[in-house]
Amino acid sequence: MVQLGAFVLGTPDPAALAAFYRALLGWVTVEGGDPAFVRLRDPERERPGLSFQLEPDHIAPTWPPRPGTQQMQGHLDVLADDLDAEVARALSLGATREEHQPAEGVVVLRDPHGHPFCLFVPGA
């Protein structure tokens, strides 16, 4: 049997990006003594987690994708019970809203280090 342990985002500042997602998700830090690696988890369960690994030369992907540009290797989908309120909260925490939005009920944002993520309502 295998199980997803964590999703890892590369970033030039793991502690700062972890602080953004800790506030966004309400998660807790479980590994954070190493400045090159921080792991968060839901306070109700150990796994899966969300980790941040030092990548000094991180280049944010292009959205929407275009040939010849930095491509997205993955992104986070985050459920929101009140999409408008959670988008506003994410923006207040330092996220930015993308101009291109692919569908109703989904909002594409970028975290402070340029990783795209989606806030969406269940069923979208």
67-94 residue pLDDT tens? 887 877 788 999 999 999 999 999 999 9
* Range 110-123 average pLDDT: 93
Check whether residue 4 and residue 50 sit in a common domain: yes
Nearest to 60 by CA among 51, 71, 48, 49: 71
For the chain, the average pLDDT equals 92
**Boundary of a domain, candidates 24, 42, 57:** 57
- Residue pointed to by tokens 């190493």: 34
**Boundary of a domain, candidates 10, 27, 57:** 57
22-66 residue pLDDT tens? 999 999 999 778 889 999 999 999 999 999 999 999 888 888 877
- pLDDT above 70 for 109: yes
Integer angstrom CA distances of residue 11 from 15, 29, 51: 9, 17, 10
Q: Which domain holds residue 83?
A: 59-124
Indicate the number of domains in the chain: 2
* Range 7-23 average pLDDT: 96
Check whether residue 31 and residue 50 sit in a common domain: yes
Res 70: pLDDT: 81
> With b meaning 16 or more CB within 10 Å and e meaning fewer, what string describes 75-86?
bbebebeebeeb
124 pLDDT band, cuts 50/70/90, is: low
CA distance 93 to 124: 24
Res 63: pLDDT: 83
Check whether residue 1 and residue 17 sit in a common domain: yes
pTM of the predicted structure, to 2 decimals? 0.90
* Range 12-20 average pLDDT: 96
